[in-house]
Structure 1
Amino acid sequence: MAAELGRARYAYLGPAGTFTEAALRQVVSPDEADYLPQVDVLAAIAAVRAGTADFAVVAIENSVEGGVTAVLDSLAVGEPLMILREMLVPVTFALAARPGTDLGAVRRISAHPHAWAQCRGWLAQNLPGVVHVPATSNTAPAALLAGAREDLGFDAALVPPSAVEHYGLAVVAEHVSDNEAAVTRFVLIGRPGDVPAPSGADKTTLVVHLPSNQAGALLEMLEQFATRGVNLSRIESRPIGDSLGRYSFSIDAEGHLADERMAEALIGLHRVCPHVRYLGSYPRVDAPYGDMRPGTSDEDFRSARAWVQSLREGRAT
């Protein structure tokens, strides 16, 4: 698809019909922007860094499989990028094939690794011994099935239900997901710039390296959040990659950079941790905040600083 002058360009995991495209449609209509399908999530992120796309939409977390490690690792290093917003997409799958294929004829199934993992139980029960043929996206095998080639190396594919009609396929089996309530969290990524204004229910994403490899190092890092009343909604360890036993942490914290307690936590992290990468503050779309701990509101922090200042000026005791 050729980009039109003056329209924003959005890279995403293609081809058409993926869950990523569904997330992108929550951000902007294809009538208002240029959709740039990519072969994988790393290519989508690279397009923003290279300037061939203005934004990218990528999956970052699944309620069943956890974090999308390729995305977490790519954002942790390289040219800095920012998360601008998040979107949730329900994830269900259908087993699809060319018309005339029945379940008994299926020996090899093409699927993205995350799709395969989310349907593993159903497959073991209904198609024991079936062979997994990995796919680059949830709709790539659907596009292949819709093509003219006869020998694809697989008989059917696990695809989003919306892709069945889009690619002219037949449903071999419906509701094949092990967890029909599964949800994937997607994020909109762009170049660093102005941080979205606080919404009152925000999330801040960080990458943090531990201050040392000694006992208590993780506790020291976590205390920077706990003592300021900042709750963590996600924390995952990822290998730094330079040697065994060295890890960084990918963190989602409740709050916004503009919040006093979040700013104080970041100051603490910057003091005690060798590396802190700020990946953005943006409105959250999942569960609401927990209760705020007494003494951690913006006014509490401002009042405490004013009191200390008055002590320094000899105006109070």
Structure 2
Amino acid sequence: MSPAPRYAFLGPAGTFTEAALRQVASPEDVDLLPASSVLAALAAVRVGEAERAVVPIENSVEGGVTATLDDIGADEPLQILAEVLVPISFVLVGRPGVALEDVRRVTTHTHAWAQVRGWMEAHLPGVEFTPAGSTAAGARALLPSAGGDGAVASFDAAVCAPLVAEQTGLPVLAEAIEDVTGAVTRFVLVSRPGPVPEPTGADKTTLTVPLPDDHPGALREILDQFATRGINLSRIESRPTGEGMGRYFFSIDLEGHVAEERVGAALAALHRTFPGVRFLGSYPRAEGRPPTVPEHVTDAAYRRGTAWVRGLRSR
């Protein structure tokens, strides 16, 4: 019997990332590898310690997860195979024996803190924030078994997922403390480059496009390749390359699959102008909603156009 595939994820147990992983793989069928950070999870795939990794890439409140965008956009190539959406709701758990009015120091992941700042200002004004590697890691550090009195004394409470409270038994001091009800985080399943999933008719493609030089109209040159082919962009963000001031790349999600004529034509045109463009995968959209494709850029329209030109050339 072959060993179970190993999936890395932002740990420890109980993170929203683990909840996302459970949507793409059954824990009984895979070997779970909790990682201390997004970068560690992606590195595990690159060096062969894990076949796949699940990492957050975008939040409906905070936008792109920069650690993920920067790493998959600039480091050794990886490929996105799937995406999942996880509704986000937070609870405040306390160190045993601490009441809500006693909380002075709170820990959690920085993205989680950004989504509860309003609640904290309203209910715990002046509270001190201590960053944690993940929401689950911050909460579990409250447990006496985490490292003794010195470890738990550094903060009084943690912001985490309700699942962590259930798993640890930590007392819940407040529920549904997120500032925006209905927030969602998008996670992606990542592997080393390989075969692209077959098109489903409701797909998404992710790219990074570096700018070889900063000049007027550079962004328009990129956008025109999509606009003229009726391709909708669902996300576009600029990120620094780390190679000096003014050096950026664009991280882009578009509606469509590389197997579609219009998408393939756009990628080919981008590659001619920006040879450093990186294809990060075409994969099914989590919502399963197909895009609206104008008739003149359907695959059938492209085939008709190609046939017409072929006929002209054969005269």
Offset at 1:253?
0.6
**In the alignment, is the contact (CA less than 8 A) between 2:108 and 2:139 conserved in 1?**
no
Q: Find the aligned partners of 1:197 and 1:252 in 2 and give their Cα distance.
A: 18
2:134 maps to which of 129, 132, 137: 137
Task: Give the fraction of aligned pairs with identical amino acids, expressed as a percent.
Answer: 57
User: Could you tell me which amino acid in structure 2 is paired with residue 63 of structure 1?
Assistant: S
The answer to whether the 8 Å contact 2:202/2:291 transfers is no
Query: 2:188 aligns to what?
Result: 187
Give yes or no for contact 1:106–1:130 (8 Å, CA) kept in 2: yes
Report deviation, 1:99.
3.5
| Equivalence for 2:283 | 282
The separation in 2 between residues aligned to 1:5 and 1:312, in whole angstroms, is: 54
Instruction: Give how far 1:73 is off.
Output: 0.6
Q: Distance in 2 between matches of 1:243 and 1:12?
A: 31
Q: What residue is the counterpart of 1:154 in the other structure?
A: 155
> Aligned AA for 1:120?
R
Aligned amino acid, residue 76 of structure 1: G
Report the alpha carbon displacement of residue 63 of structure 1 after superposing the two structures with TM: 0.3
Give the counterpart letter for 1:9 in structure 2: R
Residue 233 of structure 2 is matched in structure 1 by 232
- Is residue 74–residue 241 contact of structure 2 (8 Å, CA) maintained in 1? no
Distance 1:74 1:217 in 2: 23
Matches of 2:166 and 2:97, distance apart in 1? 15
Q: Distance in 2 between matches of 1:190 and 1:8?
A: 12
1:290 deviates by 4.5
Question: How big is the shift at 1:286?
Answer: 3.4
- Matched residue, 1:21: 18
Where 1:80 maps in the other structure, the secondary structure is coil
Amino acid of the structure 1 residue aligned with 2:149: E
Task: Give secondary structure in 2 for the equivalent of 1:145.
Answer: coil
Larger deviation, residues 140-149 vs 23-32: 140-149
User: Is 1:41 aligned to residue 38 of structure 2?
Assistant: yes
Whether contact under 8 Å (1:146, 1:168) holds in the other structure is no
Name the SS of the counterpart of 1:43 in structure 2: helix
Secondary structure (helix, strand or coil) at the match of 2:22 reads: helix
Aligned AA (1:83): I
- The aligned amino acid for 2:206 is T
Judge conservation of contact 1:210–1:274 (CA < 8 Å) in 2.
Answer: no
| Separation in 1, partners of 2:296, 2:17 | 41
What amino acid sits opposite 1:17 in the alignment? Answer: G
Which residue pairs with 1:203 in the alignment? 204
Equivalent-residue separation in structure 2 for 1:287 and 1:101 (angstroms): 45
Query: Which runs of structure 2 are paired with 1:60-99 in the superposition (5 Å)?
Result: 60-99=57-96
Report the counterpart of residue 307 of structure 1 in structure 2.
308
Matching residue's letter, 1:52: E
Q: Mind listing any 5+ residue stretches in structure 1 that lack a counterpart?
A: none
Matched positions, count: 311
Once the two structures are superposed, residues 159-184 of structure 1 have per-residue CA deviations (whole angstroms, 9 ceiling, x without a partner) of 10111020110011111110121100
Q: Deviations over 1:180-214 (max 9, x none)?
A: 21100000000111100001100000000235422
- Alpha-carbon distance in structure 2 between the residues aligned to 1:174 and 1:150: 26
**Which residue matches 1:163?**
164
* Corresponding residue for residue 107 of structure 1: 104
Secondary structure at 1:129 match in 2: coil
Aligned Cα root-mean-square deviation (Å): 1.3
Flag as ranges the 4+ runs of structure 1 deviating above 3 A.
none
Q: CA deviation at 1:17?
A: 0.4
How far residue 78 of structure 1 moved from its aligned partner, in angstroms, is 2.4
Q: CA deviation at 1:100?
A: 3.0
Contact 2:84 2:187 in 1 (8 A): yes
Residue of structure 2 equivalent to 1:127 = 124
Conservation of the 8 A alpha-carbon contact between 2:9 and 2:35: yes
In 2: Cα distance, 1:212 partner to 1:223 partner: 18
**Residues of 2 paired with 1:310 and 1:274: CA distance?**
31
The DSSP-based 3-state class of the residue aligned with 1:88 is: strand
Question: How many Å separate the matches in 1 of 2:255 and 2:109?
Answer: 31
Give the alignment's TM-score, normalised by structure 2.
0.96
Aligned to 2:295: 294
Distance in structure 1 (CA, Å) of the matches to 2:59 and 2:179: 14
